Amino acid sequence: MSKKVLVISLLAVASFFVSCSDKQSETKPVSQVVLPQSQPIVPVMPFTAPSKSNITVEKATTYAKASNGLVELGVKWSERIDNAKDFEKIQILNAYNVARDQLCARAGLQGGIAEFNWITNVALKNPENRNAFEKAGFKVK
């Protein structure tokens, strides 16, 4: 009889441990981390300034879209740069330059930030482009 009591006791203890481990796995479901989807890299073509500084309304509109995006990008990244430690700032600035290039290319400026800068420094100053920029929503003085 003592063997039966011992076997029953062992089975009761074993079933207790099995039931406890089952309850723990039921109460703690495995959560999955959802990572943000990254965008594919857009190729940025080398930019060569054209011989004439005239641009089309479509190019001025693309420039306006890129300009708006660059302002928003600058606001977001400036906080990151300001809060970074000194040794991280160079990496963040390099990533920011890549982000500006990508934004311009995605907006339609195939030459990236170099094309944007050319439009800003050359085409925007050409009085013949005034109509194109005004149609794109810019006030040209």
With 0.85 as the threshold, say if the pTM is over it: no
Specify the higher pLDDT residue, 5 or 75.
75
Q: What is the pLDDT of residue 90?
A: 87
Report CA Rg, the chain.
31
- The SS3 call for residue 74 is helix
Tokens of 109: 């400026």
Is residue 118 predicted with pLDDT exceeding 70?
A: yes
Task: Give the chain's mean pLDDT.
Answer: 79
pLDDT at 104 over 70: yes
Burial of residue 87, with CB atoms counted within 10 A of its CB: 0-12 exposed, 13-18 middle, 19 or more buried: exposed
Q: How confident is the model at residue 83 (pLDDT cuts 50, 70, 90)?
A: confident
- Higher-confidence position of 7 and 90: 90
Interatomic CA distance for residues 49 and 139, integer angstroms = 24
What is the reported pLDDT for 77?
87
From residue 16, alpha-carbon distances to 4, 5, 19, 130 in Å are 18, 16, 5, 83
What percentage of the chain reaches a pLDDT higher than 90? 50
pLDDT for residue 57? 95
Question: Which element (helix H / strand E) includes 120?
Answer: helix 112-121
